[in-house]
């Protein structure tokens, strides 16, 4: 995982300590309009004469330099310029995105990533190494801070510098593979979090990163590896909420560190040794259980099985002795 510790540290001369109790909700993509390596850009931001900074710089060789801690705010995005509205696709149309209007200084809400682009007009396309590093870094920042892993809107997300400053930075970042980024984030990296629209209506934060379901009748806690599974299961819609529904129990232990947890539309098992169920090639520690038998069985299924057996008996009896024998 690319994390704060994994990057080369070039402390910037300027930043704001903390975020004035704001939580990062946006990732802003930039191009450097000059320079040839991430280390050069890191050195530039270390000079006190440079009245700007950034959290990260990604070189054309994929090197990641960090200049400001994520929990601090960088001097990265300048002032909000232009008319309020919907920003352009990077070519600039004179409008900044209107959600910046009533918020605090955008720098308090943003984590900023510069991409080395030697041409002063930012016309360079990302190299493959740069693109790979950028996608992974964006994905991990989204996970660390529960930032929506999608195109920015009023709730948060990912956009370019032009979203804030369409007058002076219409060409920042210049070409960036947005569609590819969002497809990448949508695919195996699709994860819901408490900021995902629709999720906070059902869940609130509990201790240790767990989620507490706030819907009456479903007041259970989802945590650990089962929560990780729930947050990405299905890979579309609202993931676990769409495909499994709400929890019907807390975790229930059944020996050997195994637990199961019932949901409206399925039972999840945490079984790190795969002692309960080991189909060929299986290695996931969390999986859907069989619900027609075994420890994860829904008690309603057993009741239905009994009912079915009784009906089958009745049916057999009826077939043998017709109520209306031929006269
Ligand atoms: Zn910029």
Together in a domain, 129 and 242:
no
pLDDT of residue 14: 94
Together in a domain, 286 and 155:
no
pLDDT digits (tens, 9 = 90+) for 15-68: 999 999 899 999 999 999 999 999 999 999 999 999 999 999 999 999 999 999
Which residues neighbour ligand 1 (ion) by CB within 5 Å? 30, 161, 169, 172
pLDDT of residue 159: 96
Together in a domain, 53 and 177:
yes
- Please give the distance, rounded to the nearest whole angstrom, from the Cα atom of residue 157 to the centre of ligand 1: 17
Give residue 323's pLDDT band: very low, low, confident or very high (50, 70, 90): low
Residue 148 counted as domain residue: yes
- Helix or strand or coil: residue 243? helix
Give residue 5's pLDDT band: very low, low, confident or very high (50, 70, 90): low
Pair 70, 144: CB distance under 8 Å: yes
Pair 116, 32: CB distance under 8 Å: yes
- Please give the distance, rounded to the nearest whole angstrom, from the Cα atom of residue 70 to the centre of ligand 1: 17
What backbone torsions phi and psi does residue 195 show, to the nearest 5 degrees? -90, -10
Domain count for the chain: 2
Q: In what order do the strands lie in the sheet with 203-205?
A: 203-205, 211-213, 221-222
Give residue 325's pLDDT band: very low, low, confident or very high (50, 70, 90): low
pLDDT of residue 195: 81
Together in a domain, 43 and 121:
yes
Average pLDDT over residues 319-326: 61
Handedness of CA 222, 226, 232, 234 (dihedral sign): negative
Q: Is 117 exposed, middle or buried (0-12, 13-18, 19+ CB in 10 A)?
A: buried
% the chain with pLDDT above 90: 64
DSSP E strands, the chain: 8-9, 15-16, 26-31, 56-58, 64-66, 73-74, 83-85, 95-97, 110-115, 157-160, 203-205, 211-213, 221-222, 252-253, 259-263, 266-270, 286-288
Single residue among 153, 186, 219 that ends a domain in this structure? 186
Together in a domain, 215 and 179:
no
pLDDT of residue 42: 97
CB count within 10 Å of CB 128 equals 10
pLDDT of residue 89: 54
- Please give the distance, rounded to the nearest whole angstrom, from the Cα atom of residue 181 to the centre of ligand 1: 18
pLDDT, greater one: 217 or 195:
217
pLDDT of residue 189: 59
pLDDT digits (tens, 9 = 90+) for 91-133: 557 899 999 998 899 999 999 999 999 999 999 999 999 999 9
pLDDT of residue 111: 97
Highest-scoring range by mean pLDDT, 158-167, 230-239, 278-287: 158-167
Together in a domain, 129 and 229:
no
Residue 234 counted as domain residue: yes
Residue 61 sits in which domain range? 4-186
Single residue among 186, 213, 247 that ends a domain in this structure? 186
Together in a domain, 20 and 94:
yes
Pair 74, 55: CB distance under 8 Å: yes
Give residue 178's pLDDT band: very low, low, confident or very high (50, 70, 90): very high
- Please give the distance, rounded to the nearest whole angstrom, from the Cα atom of residue 13 to the centre of ligand 1: 18
Give residue 300's pLDDT band: very low, low, confident or very high (50, 70, 90): confident
Together in a domain, 12 and 112:
yes
Residues 6+ apart with CB under 8 A from 163: 28, 87, 96, 97, 100, 152
Residue 322 counted as domain residue: no
Together in a domain, 9 and 142:
yes
pLDDT of residue 247: 97
Which H/E stretch holds residue 143? helix 128-145
- Please give the distance, rounded to the nearest whole angstrom, from the Cα atom of residue 188 to the centre of ligand 1: 29
- Please give the distance, rounded to the nearest whole angstrom, from the Cα atom of residue 246 to the centre of ligand 1: 42
Residue 308 counted as domain residue: no
pLDDT of residue 56: 97
The lowest-confidence range among 62-76, 85-99, 163-177 is 85-99
Average pLDDT value for the chain: 89
Residue 150 counted as domain residue: yes
CA atoms of 131 and 149, how far apart (whole Å): 16
Residue 229 counted as domain residue: yes
CA atoms of 111 and 106, how far apart (whole Å): 10
Together in a domain, 88 and 119:
yes
pLDDT at 136 over 50: yes
pLDDT at 166 over 70: yes
pLDDT of residue 321: 60
Together in a domain, 149 and 82:
yes
- Please give the distance, rounded to the nearest whole angstrom, from the Cα atom of residue 113 to the centre of ligand 1: 9
- Please give the distance, rounded to the nearest whole angstrom, from the Cα atom of residue 143 to the centre of ligand 1: 23
Handedness of CA 194, 195, 199, 203 (dihedral sign): positive
pLDDT of residue 203: 97
- Please give the distance, rounded to the nearest whole angstrom, from the Cα atom of residue 169 to the centre of ligand 1: 6
Helix axis angle for 178-186 and 128-145, nearest 10°, is 50
- Please give the distance, rounded to the nearest whole angstrom, from the Cα atom of residue 122 to the centre of ligand 1: 10
- Please give the distance, rounded to the nearest whole angstrom, from the Cα atom of residue 32 to the centre of ligand 1: 7
Highest-scoring range by mean pLDDT, 85-94, 116-125, 310-319: 116-125
pLDDT of residue 326: 59
pLDDT digits (tens, 9 = 90+) for 215-238: 999 999 999 999 999 998 887 778
CATH number at residue 70: 3.40.80.10
């Amino acid at each position: 995982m690319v994390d704060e510790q994994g990057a080369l540290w070039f402390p910037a001369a300027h930043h704001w300590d903390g975020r004035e109790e704001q939580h990062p909700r946006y990732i802003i993509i930039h191009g450097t309009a000059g320079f040839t390596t991430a280390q050069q850009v890191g050195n530039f931001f270390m000079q006190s004469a440079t009245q700007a900074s950034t959290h990260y710089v990604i070189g054309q060789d994929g090197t990641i330099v960090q200049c400001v801690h994520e929990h601090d705010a960088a001097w990265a995005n300048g002032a909000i310029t232009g008319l309020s509205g919907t920003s352009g696709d990077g070519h600039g149309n004179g409008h900044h995105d209107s959600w910046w209007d009533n918020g605090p200084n955008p720098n308090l809400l943003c984590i900023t990533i510069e991409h080395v682009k030697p041409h002063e007009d930012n016309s360079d396309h990302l190299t493959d190494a740069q693109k790979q590093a950028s996608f992974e870094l964006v994905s991990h920042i989204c996970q660390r801070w529960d930032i929506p892993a999608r195109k920015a809107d009023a709730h948060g997300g990912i956009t370019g510098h032009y979203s804030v400053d369409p007058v002076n930075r219409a060409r920042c970042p210049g070409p960036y593979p947005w569609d590819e980024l969002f497809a990448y984030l949508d695919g195996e990296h699709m994860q819901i979090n408490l900021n995902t629209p629709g999720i906070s209506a059902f869940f609130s934060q509990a201790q240790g990163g767990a989620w507490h379901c706030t819907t009456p009748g479903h007041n259970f806690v989802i945590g650990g590896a089962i929560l990780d599974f729930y947050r990405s299961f299905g890979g579309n819609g609202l993931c676990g909420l769409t495909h499994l529904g709400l929890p019907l129990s807390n975790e229930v232990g059944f020996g050997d560190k195994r637990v199961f947890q019932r949901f409206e539309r399925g039972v999840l098992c945490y079984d790190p040794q795969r002692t309960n169920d080991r189909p060929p090639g299986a290695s996931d520690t969390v999986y859907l259980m069989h619900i027609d038998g075994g420890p994860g069985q829904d008690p309603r299924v057993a009741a239905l099985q009994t009912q079915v057996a009784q009906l089958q008996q009745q049916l057999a009896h009826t077939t043998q002795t017709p109520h209306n024998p031929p006269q």
